[in-house]
Amino acid sequence: MLQGDRQGHAVRYHRVMPVEIDIVKVAQLARIALSDDELDMYSSQLADILEHAERVQALPTEGVEPTSHPLPMVNAFRPDEVGECLEPESFLSEAPDTHDGRFRVPRILG
């Protein structure tokens, strides 16, 4: 597949190998219960995404400075000063369950 890049140069996109995904493990890591149909659907969608990532990775980037953020900025700092906090009632009243000023959640290990 040939396509022009922004400068109009021809860039060859490699045909990449289909990506194997352990979709059951991915679902388990995200703590999502999925039906068999859903597993199939997400498996193929995720494979598309990863294949796209592989194509991007195959681009010749030698000599290109790595980018870790889209904006050319660093060091947005805050001085070490104490500011206002929220009144506990203002957010505890929004929680599904609270006890003694604390959030109450189901047991952590099932």
Partner 1 sequence: MTDWEAVIGIETHVELSTNSKMFCSCPTEFGDEPNTAVCPVCLALPGALPVPNEKAIEGIVKIGLALDCEINERSLFYRKNYFYPDLPKNYQISQYTYPVCEHGSLDVDVDGEPTVVGITRVHMEEDTGKSSHIGDGGGRIQDADHTLLDFNRAGVPLVEIVTEPDITSPEQARAYAAELQRIVLALGVSDARLEAGSMRFDANISVRPVGTTELGTRTETKNVNSLRSLQRALAFEIDRQIRVLEEGGRIVQETRHWNEDTGVTTSMRTKEESEDYRYFQDPDLLPLEVTKEWQDEIRATIPELPAKRRRGFLDAGVDVETAGVLADDDDLSRLFRDAVAGGATGRTVGIWLTGEVIAYLRRQEITIADTSLTSGHLVELGSMVDGGDLSSSAAKEVLLAVLEGEGTPGEIADARDLLQVSDTGAIEEAVDAVLAANADAVDKIKSGDMKPFGFLVGQVMRHMGGKADPKVVRSVLEQRTGS
Which positions lie near partner 1, rule CB under 8 A? 29, 31, 68-69, 71, 73-86, 88, 91-92, 99-109
Nearer to partner 1, 9 or 77 (CB): 77
CB 4 within 8 A of CB 10: yes
Nearer to partner 1, 3 or 68 (CB): 68
Name the minimum Å distance from CB 64 to partner 1.
Answer: 16
Nearer to partner 1, 36 or 87 (CB): 87
Two tokens, residue 25:
């493990």
**DSSP letters along 8-24, please?**
S-EEEPPPPPPPP--HH
What's phi and psi for 48, nearest 5 deg? -60, -45
Rounded Cα distance, 79 and 39, in Å: 48
Name the minimum Å distance from CB 106 to partner 1.
Answer: 6
Name the minimum Å distance from CB 91 to partner 1.
Answer: 6
